[in-house]
Amino acid sequence: MNERAPLPAALARPAHGRVLVLVPHPDDDVIGCGATASLHALQGDPVRIVVVYDGAAGDPDEKFDAETLIERRHAEARAGGVCLGLEDYEFWDYPEGHEPDDTQFRAGAERIAQLVRDWKPDFVYAPWIGEQHLDHHILARIARAGLRLAEFQGRALGYEVWTPLVATEIVDVTSVYPMKIQALKKHESQVSYGDPTHYGLGLNAHRSIYLPKGAHFGEAFAPLGEPSAEDLARVGLS
């Protein structure tokens, strides 16, 4: 077995096609694959962003009005999308921070499957399976199961937010990176707790090591992969 990481492909732009981005929380789309989604939109590809969790846990110090926090985070996501040329946002508002039971897992996978059948994407982007954050990891698992239920034939790619992945391809996002920074700044509720432009810049800057000279920022992807036997059983595909 060769344990050496593969050399990722360096892409000047993503391939054309209809795009579905599955996102755990508002702002994860921007951090993980926002610039790549922007490049898709700039080349005329339809892009739909589906934010799965409600983001209510994103204000642990209660700096903002709890009754309007979810709506605030929706608005921040849409404002960030405007910076990137993205307009088609959908919010499912599932509660955060827990392991779904079998019924919840299957319902989520079936909802993603129906979305894929209806939207008919060529590309699906979702968090990669190794994400340390529980919500990100669970979404990756449910997405993989949902894509199997839908018999998806396109490309399913994992992106990184909290946990770096072993990339198989890097998209050069240098040309739209200022837009990504502006989009992150629109998430004011989250900026109040940290600096996503700092760690986003660091990760994306590092990825440019695989890109041609003159490229300064890249977003990394790897195949989303297949559902585990356990997760297949949870959706009735054992």
Instruction: Evaluate whether 167 touches 207 at the Cβ level (below 8 Å).
Output: yes
- Whose tokens are 């993205």? That residue is 86
Q: Residue 59 above 80 pLDDT?
A: no
In a domain, 9, yes or no: no
What average pLDDT does range 194-219 have in this prediction? 92
Per the CB < 8 A criterion, the answer to whether 157 and 238 are in contact is: no
Q: Which of 211, 228, 230 is nearest to 35 (CA)?
A: 211
How far is Cα 89 from Cα 180, in angstroms, rounded to an integer? 17
Nearest-5° Cα angle at 185, 134 to 40: 75
Residue 2 lies in a domain: no
Q: Give me the pLDDT at residue 69, please.
A: 92
Q: How far is CA 45 from CA 39, 64, 121, 222, 224, in A?
A: 9, 36, 10, 21, 21
- pLDDT value for 235: 96
Q: 119-133, 164-178, 181-195: which range is least confident on average?
A: 181-195
Q: Which of 46, 53, 39, 51 is nearest to 77 (CA)?
A: 51
- Is residue 165 included in any domain, yes or no? yes
CATH of the domain at 222: 3.40.50.10320
Q: Is residue 11 part of a domain?
A: no
At residue 1, does pLDDT exceed 70? no
What is the number of structural domains in the chain? 1
- DSSP assignment of 140-195, as one string? HHHHHHHHHHTT--SEEEEE-SSS----SEEEE-GGGHHHHHHHHHT-HHHHTT--
pLDDT for 193 equals 83
56: which DSSP letter?
A: G
Percent of the chain at pLDDT above 70?
A: 100
Is residue 8 included in any domain, yes or no?
no
Read off the pLDDT of residues 83-118 as tens digits, 9 standing for 90 and up. 999 999 999 999 999 999 999 999 999 999 999 999
DSSP element (H, E) containing 20: strand 19-23
Cα 229 to Cα 70, 226, 233: the distances in Å are: 35, 9, 6
Task: Report whether pLDDT(231) > 70.
Answer: yes
Domain coverage including residue 134: 18-57+66-234
- What three-state secondary structure class fits 51? strand
* Residue 173 included in any domain: yes
Query: For residues 30 and 182, what is the distance between their CA atoms, to the nearest angstrom?
Result: 10
Residue 46 inside a domain? The answer is yes
Higher pLDDT, 41 or 67: 41
Average pLDDT taken over every residue of the chain: 95
Whether residue 149 has pLDDT greater than 90: yes
